[in-house]
Amino acid sequence: MSEDDFVDRLLLDAFEGPVPDDGFSVSAMQRLPVSRRHRIWPLLLGVAAGGFLCWTSLASAPVWHAGWADWLAGELSARSMIVLAAMVGLSLLTLAWTMAEADDRR
């Protein structure tokens, strides 16, 4: 028997039914602070800064230029697959982050 089971058993033995609320929940909810509004500009600024930094870091990479050229020409080379895998991977990371943030706001 775990410690939690022991505590649960003690509580069940000590109390026969639910404890009356007597308006406690309503008064506690009325005393909670109003939730703050979320601003969108930090998100937009972060996306713009991240896009700019990615572009500047990859602008001089020859595999990036060759991959784009191969992809735009319709050739599925190793370089174009690297570019595609990088874009898919970053998109999936962004999706996972967005889903985690959306779940926290409920």
* 44, amino acid identity: L
**Whether the predicted pLDDT of 74 surpasses 80:** yes
**Whether the predicted pLDDT of 82 surpasses 80:** yes
**Whether the predicted pLDDT of 96 surpasses 80:** yes
Roughly how many angstroms between the first and final C-alpha of the chain, as a whole number?
35
Count H helices and E strands in the chain, helices first.
5, 0
Give the pLDDT of residue 51: 80
4 is written with which tokens?
Answer: 């939690």
C-beta of residue 62 within 8 angstroms of C-beta of residue 52: no
**Whether the predicted pLDDT of 36 surpasses 60:** yes
